[in-house]
Amino acid sequence: MNFLRRKFYSYYLQPRIEFPDRIERREYAFILFNEDTMHRHISFSSKEAILTYFKANVPAHAYYSSAYYRIPSASTMKEKQWMGADLIFDLDADHLPNIENLTYEETLQEVKKELLKLISFLTEDFGFGKQDIRIYFSGGRGYHCHISNKSVLELGSQERREIVDYITARGLEIKEIVGERSIYKDRYIDKRIEIYPDHGGWKGRIARGIINFFKQIKSMEREDAIKELMKIEGIGEKTAEALYDALTDERMRRIEKGMIDQASEFRRIVKPLIKRLAVSLHSEADEPVTADIKRLIRLPGSLHGKTGLRVTKVDIDAIEDFDPLTHAVVFGDNMIKVNVEKPIKIKMMENVYELKKGVATLPEYLAVFLVARRMAVA
Amino acid sequence: MPPILFIFILFNFVDLFKLAKYPFMAEAKEWVKEQKVNIEEILFDELYERARQRGIERVKQALEKGIIYDTPLINDVDCAMEIFSYPIARMLVVAVESDYLLRRYALAEAKRAYENMKNEEEDFISYLAKELGVEVNGEKIHFADYLKYAPTWDMKWKLVNRELKNGYVILSKNEVARLIQEAIRKKIYSELSYIFAPPEVKKVFRNEIIAIKSRIAFKDKSVKMKEVKADYFPPCIKSLVSAAKSGINVPHVGRFTMVTFLNAIGMSIDEILKIFSSSPDFNEEKTRYQIEHITGRISSTVYAPPKCDTIRTWGLCYPDEYCRGIKHPLFYYRRRRK
Ligand code: SF4
């Protein structure tokens, strides 16, 4: 631990902290090295005071409140007097399916996909401008998205939950977003679904999602298409074949116009598609953090004690290019000897490292990362 | 002829008839001020007897029916009396000093406005909305305003089921009116929470105040739960029950959760009904109907209480330490009662 603390200290002598607006209205919290408890209810009156704290205490983790308070250092919510809070979305890898089998880099790549979906919701549906949205790499396994637009600051937790439910499609009722029509033929009633690609909201999203999905299926070779269809839960080989074979040019044209002739086919694919289109924000079991109007969030520019990476701003137009293991690295390449505890392959600062168990001499940035992740000891 | 008839201003679309229908509007207040009638006149002068009677009627209808019915408005005098009756009703409500009445009255005024708004032109509705601080743009409303006023516990009103584009939710005219109803209710309720009745009001309306108080006491009888161990209710249910008992308007899904839960643990319909009896929009017949419906007494389906996940979506979950690993509120109760 002393090793990490020393390294953090060297960074905190001249850190690049990005201070939140209304510094003096925020609560700050820190976890120090070799301690489990969080030091809470701290407030600062200036940037200098924060920097001094960093130098003096060298925290392993640093947070500030998304909320701003009249008295941020008070110890109860009531005394703090809540005034408003930024809207924060927390995208973390922990809950994504099959994440255990992925490497750190792949994991972050998965979270990025969710991030891009989130941004599309925030800009197209919620109408936020790109300048309203700030994205940060969390330093750990995810991204945070901050919105400080005036219109959201005073939303209560119920209202924030509605926003979360929107982007995660929780509570979405299919009957509210598609039309169902009964077509009377001579002897039977045929149900037809109507979808609305030109509409806003989920109504339009799901319609465009369905159209794109069928287009993609139609453009595939039969075998691949069937495989793709079978990836959908509840669709077996027979149904997949039937679906593919029924997808004539005429049928496709009708779908593009928003008409789906067989209601039952539609029902099969609509739910899984919604799932794909929705943002996977956090696990069901977690208290929905976005709805929390008083949560703590990592301070941009501080270091994450479990990776040594910096909480780093990501340019919204260059998300694809952001590589945490290059852009969030603050340490240099002086060589340091560490004891690697298990074999690992990793790409950092554009270099690929394949390490075996045992003593190795590594650049400082990699050494810090491995020690912080407890994959090596100094 | 009383002076009140001579002066009134015609706003773009706000005439005296509008003010009579929407007496909470700033223009109505302005109009009343311009009549230069002082409070003694309003309270004692024979000229305003009709307004006073209507004021009392407003409060009584709010209390008994949960809505205020229109009176015929044929000429300017009708309108003037109707407008004056509003501040009178407010003074009376405040003089009774009952939060229950306050809530119920605010809701009833808002409901009346809603019924009237259904017949209004879009322009007027936007104008009214703006005055209440709600930015309505034709049939579009900013999502932040939408969230403030929409009854999102109803699946149909959940944001996720709405058309949201570039920050605006698209609504029908009636839906806009429904949102404004809520804005009106909030406005009236919060205004009334901060005003006091002048002492003369208590004198003039002494008999009415006594009568209203006893009706409230009757409706608001405290409820005791027997046999059922309320201590072991999960926190979600506890908070709903105490909200309902103290007369706070419990959202539809909250009622649903509570009724299905209480029914499942064996509480009788009458007992459940009692819990709701202090709710501001309590309507015994309707509530009984709803309860009997949900609990299968008059329909064939008995609805089961929702799962924790669902309750959480509705924002009604406040877990405590016993909730760990609990997926359903009934399990919570059963586990703790053992
Ligand atoms: S966890 Fe379940 S039982 Fe506990 S408060 Fe939440 S909804 Fe109720």
pLDDT tens-digit map of A264-286: 777 778 888 888 888 877 544 34
Cα B36 versus chain centre, distance? 32
**Under a CB-based contact definition with an 8 Å cutoff, are residues A357 and A342 in contact?**
yes
| Residue B323 alpha carbon, nearest atom of ligand 1 | 4
The answer to whether the CB of A371 falls within 8 A of the CB of A378 is: yes
Where exactly are the structural domains of chain A?
Answer: 3-167+282-329, 174-277, 331-378
**Beta-strand pair B164-165/A189-194:** unpaired
Say if CB A105 and CB A325 are below 8 A apart: yes
Contacts of A250 (CB under 8 A, 6+ apart): none
- Probe target for ligand 1 pocket from B260, B321, B326, B333, with the most ligand atoms within 8 Å of CB: B326
- Cβ contacts (< 8 Å) between A172 and chain B: which residues? 160-161
d(CA B154, CA B151) in angstroms, rounded, equals 6
pLDDT band (50, 70, 90) for residue B8? very low
Check if A92 is active-site. Answer: yes
Query: How far is it, in rounded angstroms, from Cα B258 to Cα B267?
Result: 11
Ligand 1 within 6 A of B329 CB?
A: yes
Q: Torsion angle of alpha carbons A309, A289, A314, A363, nearest 10°?
A: 10
Which domains can be identified in chain B, with CATH numbers? Answer: 4-217 (1.20.930), 230-337 (no CATH)
Mean pLDDT, rounded, for A320-331: 94
> Does A163 lie at the interface with B, CB-CB under 8 angstroms?
yes
Nearest to B313 among A125, A127, A165 (CB): A165
Give me the catalytic one of A286, A317, A321, A323.
Answer: A286
Q: What is the pLDDT of residue A283?
A: 45
Q: Between B179 and B12, where is the model more confident?
A: B179
Are B176 and B66 in contact by the 8 Å Cβ rule? The answer is no
Beta carbons within 8 Å of A145's beta carbon, 6+ residues apart: A88, A89, A91, A115, A118, A119, A122, A133, A134, A135, A136
Within an 8 Å CB–CB cutoff, is residue B168 touching chain A?
yes
Query: How far is Cα A317 from Cα B308, in angstroms, rounded to an integer?
Result: 39
Which pLDDT score, from 0 to 100, does residue A290 have? 64
A353 φ/ψ angles, rounded to the nearest 5 degrees: -115, 130
Q: What is the pLDDT of residue B296?
A: 66
Cβ(B47)–Cβ(B41) under 8 Å? yes
CA of B103 to nearest chain A CA: how many angstroms apart? Answer: 21
Q: Does domain A3-167+282-329 have CATH number 3.40.50.300?
A: no
Residue A309 dihedral angles phi and psi, to the nearest 5°:
-85, 155
Is B167 within 8 Å of chain A by CB?
yes
Fold of A331-378: Ribosomal Protein L9; domain 1 (3.40.5)
B164, A199: Cβ pair inside 8 Å? no
CA distance A246 to A235: 15
Question: Is A145 in contact with A115 (CB distance < 8 Å)?
Answer: yes
Residue A153 tokens read as 């600051």
Report the alpha-carbon angle B169-B172-B177, nearest 5.
Answer: 95
Q: Rounded mean pLDDT of chain A? A: 88
Residue B336 in contact with ligand 1 by CB distance below 6 A? no
Please indicate whether residue A120 or residue B245 has the higher confidence score (pLDDT).
A120
Nearest CA to ligand 1 atom 8: B236
Q: Is pLDDT larger for residue A44 or for residue B299?
A: A44
Q: What is the pLDDT of residue A86?
A: 93
Model confidence at B226: pLDDT above 60? no
The pLDDT, as a whole number, for residue A67 is: 92
Q: Above 60 in pLDDT, residue A356? A: yes
φ/ψ region of A84 (left if φ > 0, alpha if ψ in -120 to 50, else beta) reads left
Q: How far apart are CA A197 and CA A178, in angstroms?
A: 10
Per-residue model confidence (pLDDT) at position A287: 42
When pLDDT is cut at 50, 70 and 90, the band that residue B220 belongs to is low
Of B164, B313, B315, the CB nearest to A201: B164
How far apart (Å, rounded) are the C-alpha atoms in residues A378 and B308? 46
The DSSP code for A310 is B
CA-based nearest distance A39→chain B, Å: 23
- ipTM for this prediction: 0.86
Query: Ligand 1 centroid vs B159 CA: distance in angstroms?
Result: 23
Task: Note if the pTM is more than 0.90.
Answer: no
Tokens at residue A85, please?
A: 């809070």
Q: Where are the alpha helices (DSSP H) in B45-139?
A: 49-65, 76-96, 99-117, 122-131
Alpha-carbon distance A138 to A114, whole Å?
14
Q: How far apart are the first and last CA of chain B?
A: 76
- The response to whether residue B19 sits with its C-beta less than 6 Å from ligand 1 reads no
Q: Please choose, from the candidates B104, B151, B106, B112, the residue with its C-alpha nearest in 3D space to the C-alpha of residue B280.
A: B104
DSSP string, A246-260: H--HHHHHHHHTTEE
